[in-house]
Amino acid sequence: MNRKQKKVLIRIIFAAILMVVFSLIPVEGYLRLGLFMIPYLVIGYDILKKAVKGILNKQVFDENFLMAVATVGAIILGEYTEGVAVMLFYQIGELFQSYAVGRSRRNISELMDIRPDYANIEKDGRIEKIDPDEVEAGSIIVVQPGEKIPIDGIVTEGNATLNTSALTGESLPREVKTGDEVISGCINMTGVLKICTTKEFGESTVSKILDLVENASSRKSRSENFISKFARYYTPAVCYGALALAVLPPVVRILLFDLPPEWGQWIYRALTFLVISCPCALVISIPLSFFAGIGGASREGILVKGSNYLETLSQARCVVFDKTGTLTQGVFEVSGVHHSDMENAKLLEYAALVESFSSHPISQSLKKAYGKELDQTRVTDVEEIGGNGVTAKVDGILVAAGNAKLMKRLGIEYQDCHHVGTIVHMAVDGVYAGHILISDQLKAHAKEAISALREAGVTKTVMLTGDAERVAGHVAQELGISEVYSELLPADKVEKVEQLLEKKTGKDKLVFVGDGINDAPVLSRADIGIAMGALGSDAAIEAADIVLMDDDPLKIARAIKISRKCIRIVYENIYFAIGIKILCLILGAVGIANMWLAIFADVGVMVLAVLNAIRALFVTNGRRAKVDDK
């Protein structure tokens, strides 16, 4: 509880004691009024002040105005105890709500406690702590055991074990050594590291993630927008309704039935009506539910950019996967050289040189298989042909490395491979020189993830890949994916997603899951784009709506589980709050409900709704994400 909340609690306790004591003193008239005004002003002066400010700013109809009118009216009618009690319990509800929001924020800040307080710079043999914002790219920083890595960079000296749990939600440590890239937000558990920063703090991973989480609340869901609009019309309507309840029945009694007007009774009913009608439960609990849902997701290493994406994800029925780096490890290794008349080492040398300017995983695997330092000055006239491969001159000899499409494009006859994997066909000086087989492994939980999605109510799983049909079909069959489309260029993937979007029915949503590096166009086109394995990937954080901070595909079903639990809580609060309000409003209008029931209808419903909302912070543990179909 913070300082402000403690002050409110002291006021509540003091006002409650005074109210009870003064209720026991046998005095009447103005003396009794004067006594009760003390606890009333102690507990309600800030509400009255806000109500007056709202009137002066021409923003009359809010909960402060409702409380002020209702309690002042009750005191004028001589119901001093009830007037003070309404304000007292309203403040208790506000304190509870403030504490709940603060608790949710603390949960998120603790789970995402990755903002570094300082960076260590070595000067004249001494370590100096400075603000991370002051560190320029290219600087050497020192990270000691127990400290956070403040800025992205490359290890220049030292070995250590890093704890990435604040980013990924997983406790598995990561070993790093000289030459490895490291990202901000990880905690150094062992060893001293010297790191050459590759970015400024404002562009580092930790800064981008914090900005993403902090701004998530600005992207509101349809439910939140509905409640905001509802409150704008609802509050003035109930105020005019209360005025009509106070005036019309007495006037009708006089004019039509020649009966006493009983102004006091009807004004009391109108004031009760006002207290009951306060929309606090909806206005507070709905945004809090989404806020808690985003916090619960962050705890799992799932970053949601806004409550609108959380709401859309809850309607996911079709999940489309990119294959490489999403369902497979994306770590390619050369597993064979076939149909080659030259030495394997020579063919690998040609392949590595031709691919030496590319950062594609297949290129990396060819360079790794060659295993020697490459002299790129030997390579000229490099031409990369999208979806086909690369051609270049090595020592003046034309070399081509790519798939079957490239061979057909060059008019070169090639040999098929009976092994399953990625095939890199090679042509040297216009003659086919054999092919290199590269294999990629499935991720550990890929098959389990597809099964978990079915249990989560996903009716269709689709895989898109640029790989050959045989490789794609083998992977899809092994995982149990319902549809597969192979040999696709990047533009083809967008077109295929467009076709799948056209086939959707009703409110069903399509989710695309990619590695976030090469899939930006498709991530943007889908109803929801999820980038996974995105630890440190700027492209993923920018392009996707939801970012999974590790490589575990099971997190997709878990994200759906969190979203549906959050939406279920939102609707529970809407139905519960509106249902109780309508019932109590009817009882208040006919004179059955008094101020005490009104207090329950306002404060009690708000407290129950807030308690229900913060359940979204917590999701049942377990790797399999079985989700109720909503």
Euclidean distance between the first and the last CA atom of the chain, given in angstroms as a whole number:
36
Tokens 């369902």 correspond to 327
Which residue has 């533009």 as its token pair?
A: 491
Phi/psi of residue 270, each to 5°? Answer: -65, -40
CB contact at 8 A, 67 and 90 = yes
Dihedrals phi, psi of 139, to nearest 5 degrees = -80, 155
Distance from C-alpha of 155 to C-alpha of 534, rounded to nearest angstrom: 20
Residue reference for tokens 């249902």: 579
353's CB contacts (< 8 A; 6+ apart) are 374, 375, 376, 378, 379, 392, 394, 399
Q: Which two tokens stand for residue 116?
A: 């570094």
Burial class (CB in 10 A: 0-12, 13-18, 19+), 622: exposed
**Radius of gyration for the chain, computed over Cα atoms and rounded to the nearest angstrom:** 33
Query: What's the count of helices (H) and strands (E) in the chain, helices before strands?
Result: 21, 22
Paired residues of 204 in beta bridges? none
**Which residues lie below 8 Å from residue 91, measured CB to CB, with a gap of 6+?**
8, 11, 12, 43, 44, 47
- CB-based burial label for 24 (10 Å; 0-12, 13-18, 19+): exposed
Q: Give residues with Cβ within 8 angstroms of 295, minimum separation 6.
A: 104, 105, 107, 108, 111, 616, 617
Q: What are the two backbone dihedrals, phi and then psi, of residue 352, each rounded to the nearest 5 degrees? A: -65, -40
Return d(Cα 540, Cα 562) in angstroms, integer. Answer: 21
* Catalytic site includes residue 545: no
Contact 107, 62 (CB under 8 A): no
CA 273, CA 289: separation in Å to the nearest integer? 27
Give Cβ neighbours of residue 575 (< 8 Å, ≥ 6 apart): none
Do the Cβ atoms of 601 and 580 come closer than 8 Å?
Answer: yes
Set 46, 113, 152, 322: catalytic member: 322
Q: Within its chain, how far is the Cα of 551 from the centroid? A: 17
Token digits of residue 356: 């030496």
Other Cβ atoms less than 10 A from the Cβ of 477: the count is: 10
CB 437 within 8 A of CB 336: yes
Q: Cβ neighbours of residue 261 under 8 Å, at least 6 residues apart?
A: 250, 251, 253, 254
Residues with Cβ within 8 Å of 193's Cβ and at least 6 positions away in sequence, in order, are 142, 143, 149, 155, 157, 158, 160, 176, 182
Q: Which residues pair with 434 in a beta bridge?
A: 426
Q: How far apart are CA 602 and CA 56, in angstroms?
A: 26
Give residue 525's identity as a one-letter amino acid code: R
Q: How far is CA 231 from CA 48, 244, 277, 285, 555, in A?
A: 20, 20, 11, 13, 36
Catalytically active residues, by annotation? 322
